Amino acid sequence: MWYWFFKFVLVRPVVTLGWHSRVEGLENVPRHGGAVLASNHVSALDTLVMPALMKRRVTFPAKAELFAGNRGFLSKVIAWFLKAIGQVPLDRSGGRASMAGMEPVLEVLQEGHLVGIYPEGTRSPDGRLYKGKTGVARMALAARVPVIPIAMVGSEVSRKVLGIPWADHPVVRVGKPLDFSRYDGAEDDRAVIRWVTDEVMAAIQELGDLTYVDAYGTSVKYGSMSAEEADRRIKERPGDGKPAPEPPAQS
């Protein structure tokens, strides 16, 4: 109940009437069944704009520690809010170690719902598209659901109105579902999950006409990689167009 209250009473009026947001390709989101909505991430407003324009409910995984509510009053409010709107915890430590912590997300997908994720793992430091982390592939292959690529365009904060961050006509571009069912159950195959992730990122890149940097956004954002080095890592597309790996043998 709280999800729909916050969406239709508080968020959607601002997103549609205030920011004049619009969505393209909404017909590509299936009416029923689980799917992963994989998007680039350029602004904190993305998490408001995209789900506000979807007809179906979208669940976003959040850092598991945010659900604890053990760091003072504000943390308790955040924990209540996340639980009230039905978001789920995710272990973001990465790689195979986080598969066990992915169970709440997999349950949402297997129950036939939509899960939103930002494969870059952080907001882009400069608006370009950065290398995707393989959690999106592990998630889709383990839950046996399609991935729907999404490009957020123009969702950067342009100014503030009465202290509220404001965006100027952001657009949500939704691509056709990507079917990786031939790799179902191969979420531990490194070659497969890297290829699937790169294909997802390539679809996002094409939708948003984005420049791709073959490096993790966190490296640039937190200073372990210089802007000059990031510029040298610009590539035409994620994965360099490598051929698809062979599907695993069926037992």
- How far, in Å, CA of 102 to CA of 89, rounded? 8
3-state SS, residue 139? helix
* Burial profile 121-160: b = 16 or more Cβ within 10 angstroms, e = fewer: bbbbbeebbbbbbbbbbbbbbbbbbbbbbbbbbbbbebee
Q: Mention every residue, 6+ apart, whose C-beta is less than 8 A from residue 8.
A: none
DSSP assigned state of 242: P
What distance in Å separates the CA atoms of residue 204 and residue 128, rounded to the nearest whole number? 11
pLDDT per residue as tens digits for the range 71-113? 778 877 877 878 788 888 776 655 554 566 788 899 999 999 9
pLDDT digits (tens, 9 = 90+) for 162-188: 778 889 999 999 999 999 999 998 999
Does this model's pTM top 0.85? My answer is yes
